[in-house]
Structure 1
Amino acid sequence: MTLLLAGDIGGTKTILRLVKSSDAPGLHTVYEETFRSGDFPDLVPMVQQFLAAANTETPDKACFAIAGPVVNNTAKLTNLAWLLAADRLSEELGIAAVSLINDFAAVGYGILGLSKQDLSTLQVGKHQPDAPMAIIGAGTGLGQGFLIKQGHQYQVFPSEGGHADFAPRNELEFQLLKYLLDKHGIQRASVERVVSGLGILSIYQFLRDRKIAAESPDIAEAVRTWEQEAGQPEKTVDPGAIIGSAAVEGRDRLAEQTLQIFVEAYGAEAGNLALKLLPYGGLYIAGGIAAKILPLLQNGSFLLNFTEKGRMRPLLEEIPVHIILNPQVGLIGAAVCASKL
């Protein structure tokens, strides 16, 4: 029996979980707690408090998923004055093996620990057990990554594919691209500027400014508040989430048109990733947005744009496509990663 510590560390909150790993399949949660990250000067006292509350022995291994870049097992959190290093954490906590990984890499490992109940399948395809797997996830940004099988285990590889160029495919998307270039005074626009939470807002502003449809008072107020708070480190509203909810509920025409463009662009970019990797092991849609707009992803337009790649369509129709429903996939991935240390 091996005791593992998994952590999902963000600027606002941190979730810690103790997990037992044994010869029996699966990882079994022993204890879990959520903390306000800003209440602690460092991760070490938080973990010490957590272990004391769990009333357990020191874990054998630990893995922490970090919302930010990880270089040589060190990380500096963007919105938190923490500088983390795996060797220091190992020494101060007395844990023999400690690893730091990017939060999207943790999602990649998390795929290996999901059950069928954690997924909504958009396309069954023809699964190949030894083929690559791909991950794409729209949230604050647009994460992308992939898994390659090496021997009996998978290796997770990060990617910066979300920063590739946004490629418009019709007249409206060309107008959207020009709008983004002019609005931000830039020479190119990444796909992340369209397929992300901020992308939802940008599409909405584009349609609003062209008076495609009338605004609802509540959404208009949320968007104006966000625009007035530009430059502030913390916003009081999340207009992307509000627009998405209104579109799912079918109560706002402008929001519905916004999400239609968003879902089509999301599907097209997922198809681009699939063309580059041919992930017959499955393409997994992660991120905080997908589960919240599930009906819109299931209505057919995502898959239509995913497979709409000319003579490559037959290849893409064979790739299994799944939406991850479990919001703790990153925490699961941290535990899986810890088990492999």
Structure 2
Amino acid sequence: MHDYYILSGDCGGTNTRLQLIGLTTQNLSTPSTTSSTPGTILKTSTFLNESYPSFTSILSEFLYSTPPVISPLPNVAVLAAAGPVNDNKVLFTNNGWLISGESILKTFGGSNGIKKAVLINDFVGCGYGVLTVDKLKECVILNDVKPVIGAPIACVGAGTGLGECYLTSCGGEVESYECFASEGGHAEFAPRTEVEFELIRHLKDKFKSRHRVSVERVVSGTGLANVYEFFSEKYKKERDESVYEEFLKAGSMKGKVVSVNSGKCKCCEMSMKVFAGAYGSEVGVAGLKWIPRGGLYVTGGLTPKNIKWIEGDQSEFMQAFRDKGRVSELLEEIPVYAVMVEDLGLRGSHRLAWKILKEEVAANGGRAGDTSASSIKKVLIAGVVLAGLAGVFGALNNGNRLRK
């Protein structure tokens, strides 16, 4: 029997993954030092976005049609979505969907409905998710350096797009880490070789860009497709025509066709080498920007699927990662992990939803009560007032002690 329910979601550019978790009152008093998140996973479903007209239709099917159907609905929903979040709304970068916490509450709220809906960037979800990773069982260690407790953590991952985030700690414990969003995947792609300079000219023409091409145009599933298009045009005699025909018909799975056929098609092989080098280079850039001695995690769906292009000191990925000129030695001090699981967004959303529910129940005297914006604002104001009063009384007490 569960006292509360939370909904976690990882809404990517290609798939939406939703998870329903049941919690007891005891789960909310679990010590915050543990890296695993309390709760019982009741159901998990994956939906192909292009098969649905909207996110609302996906959420409706999950809540009302996919067994087991829970009533009342989850107390708290946290959804990690593929796009920048502003005012608890997100416009998906790749498919144009608009999701807002307000619209979710209007559709699925009410007395027995969702009380609080929070949207976070998909890589904020991923960032919180890496706090739950077992490095020995769920990772391939790319740079075997002992992590520094309390140091920054960073996360870079290629999937449908390219995501980046970083975490900082105010105490060193796992629970003290806060994750911050980044749109680093849309920074400029920096070519390093002659063929990459040709590639960037090709991409500028393709996307009608006068000055720049983002790194996501190369380091992502769609980016891998872009690279293959370049090689298949430049080296037509080298391409495998059966693979090329399969590629043209693959829709959103074009990157997968390139990866799977890298052993039989020269153009696919060249594409994978450029992809891996550009990926490693960007992960190295993240290492320089954030100096994440707490751990630099390489995530995303393309990482475990293409680990043979990533692991090993002589791989294109690791050579490009370390190729940073005068500051290359700095990267040797950063522990680097290739994450081999693909549910980090769900784990991170679960973790944040549990944390929010825990705070809401504590603030409402043991209930997951009113979680409207006005109610939360009142709680925050009350907290500030109490903190101010505490400071006043503290000063008076100090004065009394001094006079004594």
TM-score by length of structure 2 reads 0.73
8 Å CA contact retained: 1:86, 1:99:
no
Matching of residues 1-341 of structure 1 within 5 Å: 3-9=5-11, 13-20=16-23, 21-22=27-28, 23=30, 25=34, 26=36, 27-34=38-45, 36=47, 38=52, 41-42=56-57, 45-46=60-61, 48-49=63-64, 53-55=68-70, 59-76=74-91, 79=95, 83-86=99-102, 89=105, 91-92=109-110, 94-116=113-135, 117-151=137-171, 152=173, 153-187=176-210, 188-211=212-235, 214-225=238-249, 235=251, 238-247=253-262, 250-299=263-312, 300-341=315-356
Matched letter for residue 169 of structure 2: K
Kindly state the Cα deviation for residue 222 of structure 1 after the two structures are TM-superposed.
2.4
Q: How far apart, CA to CA, are the structure 2 residues paired with 1:319 and 1:334? A: 26
| Higher RCO (Cα < 8 Å, 6 or more apart) | 1
Kindly state the Cα deviation for residue 17 of structure 1 after the two structures are TM-superposed.
2.3
Change (3 A) 1:244 1:157: same
Matched letter for residue 17 of structure 1: L
The structure with more radius of gyration: 2
8 Å CA contact retained: 1:264, 1:302:
yes
Change (3 A) 1:295 1:13: same
Q: How far apart, CA to CA, are the structure 2 residues paired with 1:182 and 1:48? A: 45
Q: How far apart, CA to CA, are the structure 2 residues paired with 1:212 and 1:170? A: 21
Matched letter for residue 342 of structure 2: P
More strand by share: 1
Kindly state the Cα deviation for residue 70 of structure 1 after the two structures are TM-superposed.
2.4
Query: How many residue pairs align between the two structures?
Result: 330
Kindly state the Cα deviation for residue 204 of structure 1 after the two structures are TM-superposed.
1.6
8 Å CA contact retained: 1:207, 1:213:
no
Change (3 A) 1:160 1:30: closer
8 Å CA contact retained: 1:3, 1:18:
yes
Q: How far apart, CA to CA, are the structure 1 residues paired with 2:245 and 2:335? A: 40
**1:190-243 residue CA offsets vs partner (Å, 9 max, x unmatched):** 1111111122122222222221761113211023336xxxxxxxx3x6221111
Q: How far apart, CA to CA, are the structure 1 residues paired with 2:67 and 2:234? A: 58
| Further displaced range: 159-168 or 9-18 | 9-18
- 1:155 is paired with a residue of what secondary structure? strand
Change (3 A) 1:68 1:184: closer
- 2:261 is paired with a residue of what secondary structure? helix
Q: Supply the RMSD in Å over aligned alpha carbons.
A: 2.8
Change (3 A) 1:179 1:47: closer
Q: How far apart, CA to CA, are the structure 2 residues paired with 1:12 and 1:87? A: 21
Kindly state the Cα deviation for residue 165 of structure 1 after the two structures are TM-superposed.
1.2
8 Å CA contact retained: 1:31, 1:54:
no
Q: Which runs of 4+ in 1 moved over 6 A?
A: none
Q: Which runs of 5 or more residues in structure 2 are unaligned?
A: 357-404
Q: How far apart, CA to CA, are the structure 2 residues paired with 1:87 and 1:208? A: 45
| Further displaced range: 212-221 or 105-114 | 212-221
Matched letter for residue 32 of structure 1: K
8 Å CA contact retained: 1:144, 1:158:
yes
Q: How far apart, CA to CA, are the structure 1 residues paired with 2:255 and 2:139? A: 24
Kindly state the Cα deviation for residue 66 of structure 1 after the two structures are TM-superposed.
2.2
TM-score by length of structure 1 reads 0.86
- 2:164 is paired with a residue of what secondary structure? strand
| Further displaced range: 13-22 or 64-73 | 13-22
Q: How far apart, CA to CA, are the structure 1 residues paired with 2:177 and 2:244? A: 46
Kindly state the Cα deviation for residue 51 of structure 1 after the two structures are TM-superposed.
9.2
Kindly state the Cα deviation for residue 13 of structure 1 after the two structures are TM-superposed.
4.0
Kindly state the Cα deviation for residue 330 of structure 1 after the two structures are TM-superposed.
0.6
**1:31-69 residue CA offsets vs partner (Å, 9 max, x unmatched):** 013265738855764464279825566544331222333
- 2:201 is paired with a residue of what secondary structure? helix
Q: How far apart, CA to CA, are the structure 2 residues paired with 1:223 and 1:51? A: 34
